[in-house]
Structure 1
Amino acid sequence: MNRTLRWGCLLAALLLPAGCGGSSASDAGRTAPAATPSPVTLRIMLPGDRAADYDLVLKEAQRRLAGTLNVSLDIKFVPWNDFGRVSEVALASGEEIDLVFDAPWLHLSEMISSGYYEPLDVLLEKYGEMILTKRPRPMWEANRYGGKIMAIPLGVSYAMGHSYFVRKDLREKLGVPPIQSYEELIRFAYLLKQKEPDVVPLIAAGNTSQQLYSQAAFRHYDDVQNQIRPTQALGSSLMLYYQRNDGKVYNLFREKDSLVRDWIREARRLYVDGVMHPNVLGIKDFQDPGFSGEAAIFPAGSFSVDEGNQEKLKRYAAGGELESVTFYQDIPKANLSNFAQWNFIAVPVTSKHKEEAIQFLNWANEKDNYDLLAYGLPGVHWEPVGTDRYRTLKSGYQQFPYVWLWNPDDDRVPATDDRTEALDWFIRRAEHFTPDLLTGFQFDGTPVQNELNAYARIEAEYYTPLFNGVLDPEEAMPRFEAEAGALLEAIGTELQRQIDAFLRNKRR
């Protein structure tokens, strides 16, 4: 007698006068109910911290999943600062992962060229109807690799919302009017140094995984006149960059009069003058000093400060309040976009549950499920404001949708002030942007992979110290160039060669 039958007999013996050792007339023709198969466990690797109320939300998600998909979720959270290294090691070692976050500014191209990710076109066609329909065609077309969907784009807009989070209570205390320009922001930082000695005026990102949030690099987000931006070859670096819309690659070692060099020199001045945090390179999460009240100004990837972050500050600074200060110019056609996204979620080739992984994401891209996983329990963590806005009620669940769910149909914007909401909606309309000449271009790093690897190791020693002012550029830049100049030149030359070929084909 097999195990299933033995357990069935034991249950019947407890409930019925007759056992299961044989059959009777009354049992004739009956079949035992089919056993529910054990749920498939999906292993998901995401950056960030486990939210305090994660288990409450996961319990509700599992309840909903039980009636639709037979899967359970095992989500591994890795701190942002460690995610690139940890995920790369996991993928290279063949660790069983079913879904993993990646990004062009992390190592998406390298992981694709190394063969770590499964092409998704067929899987999405079979199991991902909601995933496909919730993202517009330009988003799919601009985010293919070698003509294939190698990872699902996570995005809601065609530009990133960026601002500086600023201590509004301190600004008002010092009688400073609302800040309207970058120059006014820096004047406020110097005033803070003079009048508020217990507060560090400014901090930026000092780690390599977020180096576009370093002091000098963050300036490029508001550079409408020159449109300086990173390249596909070095997605989080301005050592190679594009400007305007001319299809040319610029090398910072060669561009002695570059605006980027001006930004670096200014960062040095801020550091030497004691305006920048003295330990900017040693702080793992550069926003922590801002939310703890230690620093008064810091960069952020949002146009608004949500209630959860306001609550963080109030725990440390009674009466503390943050405001968002942005210099983004919402003028139609003034900004370029290549419609590429910055965040993705991929299915590793080592996954044994590829179909279930896509089925789960398809389920998660249904409106009610998206709301749950993006914002938490309705009525507990958040409440809807209309159909496309929300208001935070409790900060216990901040599991940001941009690391695994983001889609433009379901995402809500915070119900804040009219200006902030107007900016959020502005960047979600493709027609507001001038198309980048390189829309659809993808860089193949294979021909210069050795140079890319060697350059990355050297850049890690110089980039954030230079772009945060810790190193004197007059002394450090020549050393940097002596060590890495030939490597960067080779990478830039190959990038330009591929761009030229792309543009030739585009004109045909």
Structure 2
Amino acid sequence: MHRKRRIFALALMLAVAALSSACKGGAVEDSASEDFAGATQPYVTLRMIMPGDESARMREFVDNELNARLKRELNLKLEMTYIPWSDYQSKLELALSTGESYDLFWYGTPFVSDYKANGYIQPLDALLRTYGKDLTANIPADNFKLDEMDGKLWAIPSQAFTSAGKFTSVMVRQDLLESVGMKEIRTIADLEAFYSKMRAKDPSYYGYLENDRGQDVLWRELSDQPFTFLDENQMFAVNENTGELVNYLESDLYKKVVQVRERWVDMGLIDKRLIGNLAANIDQEDAGKLLFRVGAVSRAMENLQTVQKADASAKLREYYLSPEKPKYIVAPSNEAYMIPAKALHPERAMQFMNWILQSKEHYNFIIYGVEGKDYRTLNGKIELLTNDQFMYEWMWRNKNYFMATTSVDDSVVQDMLHNDDNAKISRLFGFHFNQEAVKKAYARVLAVYNEKFVPLNMGIVGYDKQFAGAMDALKKAGYDKVWDELQRQYAAFRADQPVPASREASR
């Protein structure tokens, strides 16, 4: 009943705003946004889920400076629930499926379509129009298209920065690379040489820790065709030259990737003891003991603060194998904030997100804390005065407000700023696979894939001995049915896409 009265009040205020705008010749949306921003709203607690481990200073900051300000400016209190990275997906989905009353959460863009299909999240179009004028002012319109399905918006693509080639680079410990007489990484052989030389010098380091997908890091060298993964589960891809879908698992490229991984296991570059233990992988990374991992355009900056806690002299840098080959923009933002279907305060969740991008001062405040206490600006950079994490900077990185930290080498900053130079738009841009028609088969396929293909992917079982049986099990689970439905949807998507001028010119 309270919600019905609130909806009626909102509708009435919108009508008044529209009438006033019509009389003055102004914009309805701007008038509505201003009226709502200044309206008296009840004091509420906004419950938000975030991944990771909450730092001591972040807890103190939220409880004191941040919530004092949010009460004053938005009349709300922020309650943050942190879930460790290793448990984030399972515990988040449990909370969503059981209808716990959270108002806002983050996850990667590829999960938006799944959560929409499962009924976990609500459309945001009306909320964004009414409360999100600073979001739309600072996030490009094309970014929002990424999270549109069935004509509705399902998430806020919070990051607006360079994004080409995301998850196809490799991040290395640059200081350790230089300590063994190497300057850069350009090939698989370079990675192997780095590991061998470093292990000879200090065997306490681990080679490769894979927390994200990583097979396409190797594609740049192993394939003469530019492929892009369609799904996070690494089963399907698209050929960027031809636009055709690729049944990756049954391709020669998959065999080549697995054979490289087998060699890495034999070398010790992939440590069998860490495979399948996400928490242990993260612990080794936090302890500064990994030599390289999958990059993410700006991971060298994002992870520096953590690794320098373990080793103050640590430096990180990202490289692309075969760097002369093109990079593709699949998603302009891989970060998505969603509002659960069962949220008690969806309007306030949108207001809070809008508040973050309302000004550079707000942006710096929630990401870096209190100026003069937690950070200060120095020669156009952010100098951190505490080593505790606040709101993850990468989740909200915005080209209009971005400032690098003083600890990051200028070369790393330049890598980030120029990452999209000469990049191409992926054939997959804007495509979402709707699993509803093959939902049960897809679930069976994923179960078999995780059991039989993940060990193959990591090189801990032999391709020649295990692949045929694993593929047979996958097909029995319904792989061909999923593949056929995927091809049907992609063909329909492709038929509706205009041909970019760059492709027309190349014909």
Structure 1 length-normalised TM: 0.80
Deviation at 1:400, TM superposition (A): 1.0
Structure 2 residue runs without a partner (length 5+): 1-39, 500-507
Matches within 5 A, 1:63-462: 63-105=68-110, 107-155=111-159, 156-159=161-164, 160=166, 163-200=169-206, 202-205=207-210, 210-213=211-214, 216-220=215-219, 226-231=225-230, 235-255=231-251, 257-258=252-253, 260-285=254-279, 286-301=281-296, 302=298, 304-305=300-301, 307-314=304-311, 321-327=314-320, 334-366=326-358, 367-385=360-378, 389-403=381-395, 405-415=396-406, 416-427=408-419, 432-462=422-452
Aligned to 1:241, what secondary structure does the other structure show? Answer: strand
Residues 163 and 327 in structure 1, CA contact (< 8 A), matched pair in contact too? yes
Aligned to 2:291, what secondary structure does the other structure show? Answer: strand
Which of 36, 41, 64 aligns to 2:45? It is 41
Deviation at 1:115, TM superposition (A): 2.0
Residues in 2 aligned to 1:197 and 1:390: alpha-carbon distance in whole angstroms: 35
2:485 counterpart of 1:494: yes
Aligned to 2:213, what secondary structure does the other structure show? Answer: helix
Residues in 2 aligned to 1:412 and 1:135: alpha-carbon distance in whole angstroms: 17
2:457 counterpart of 1:467: yes
Deviation at 1:350, TM superposition (A): 0.5
| Partner residue in 2 for 1:8 | none
Residues 383 and 390 in structure 1, CA contact (< 8 A), matched pair in contact too? yes
Deviation at 1:221, TM superposition (A): 7.2
Residues in 2 aligned to 1:414 and 1:347: alpha-carbon distance in whole angstroms: 31
Aligned length: 451
Residues in 1 aligned to 2:423 and 2:177: alpha-carbon distance in whole angstroms: 34
Residues in 2 aligned to 1:283 and 1:381: alpha-carbon distance in whole angstroms: 34
Structure 1 residue identity aligned to 2:193: R
Aligned to 1:506, what secondary structure does the other structure show? Answer: coil
Q: Which has the higher helix share?
A: 2
Aligned to 2:496, what secondary structure does the other structure show? Answer: helix
Structure 1 residue identity aligned to 2:234: L
Residues 212 and 294 in structure 2, CA contact (< 8 A), matched pair in contact too? no
Structure 1 residue identity aligned to 2:483: G
Q: Are residues 489 and 379 of structure 1, via their aligned partners in 2, closer, same or farther at CA, if it must alter by over 3 Å? A: farther
Deviation at 1:123, TM superposition (A): 0.7
Residues in 1 aligned to 2:494 and 2:173: alpha-carbon distance in whole angstroms: 46
Structure 2 residue identity aligned to 1:442: H
Structure 2 residue identity aligned to 1:60: E
Residues in 1 aligned to 2:243 and 2:480: alpha-carbon distance in whole angstroms: 17
Structure 1 residue runs without a partner (length 5+): 1-35
Deviation at 1:37, TM superposition (A): 8.0
Q: Are residues 313 and 483 of structure 1, via their aligned partners in 2, closer, same or farther at CA, if it must alter by over 3 Å? A: same
Structure 1 residue identity aligned to 2:257: W
| Partner residue in 1 for 2:11 | none
Residues 135 and 354 in structure 2, CA contact (< 8 A), matched pair in contact too? yes
Q: Are residues 44 and 463 of structure 1, via their aligned partners in 2, closer, same or farther at CA, if it must alter by over 3 Å? A: farther
Residues in 2 aligned to 1:329 and 1:40: alpha-carbon distance in whole angstroms: 53
RCO higher in structure (CA 8 A, sep ≥6): 1
Residues in 2 aligned to 1:362 and 1:313: alpha-carbon distance in whole angstroms: 35
Structure 1 residue identity aligned to 2:310: L
Deviation at 1:292, TM superposition (A): 1.6
Residues in 2 aligned to 1:472 and 1:330: alpha-carbon distance in whole angstroms: 30
Residues in 2 aligned to 1:293 and 1:507: alpha-carbon distance in whole angstroms: 47
Deviation at 1:42, TM superposition (A): 0.6
Aligned to 2:300, what secondary structure does the other structure show? Answer: coil
> Could you give the per-residue CA deviations for residues 389-442 of structure 1, whole angstroms, max 9, x where no partner exists?
434343112431344x3444233334533332222112467xx43222343222
Deviation at 1:124, TM superposition (A): 0.7
Percent identity at matched positions?
Answer: 22
Aligned to 1:359, what secondary structure does the other structure show? Answer: helix
Residues in 2 aligned to 1:277 and 1:143: alpha-carbon distance in whole angstroms: 37
| Partner residue in 2 for 1:7 | none
> Could you give the per-residue CA deviations for residues 188-238 of structure 1, whole angstroms, max 9, x where no partner exists?
2122333433333x1322xxxx4414xx3543478896332221xxx2122
Residues in 1 aligned to 2:379 and 2:134: alpha-carbon distance in whole angstroms: 22
Comparing 122-131 with 267-276, which one deviates more in the overlay? 267-276
Comparing 348-357 with 415-424, which one deviates more in the overlay? 415-424
Structure 2 length-normalised TM: 0.81
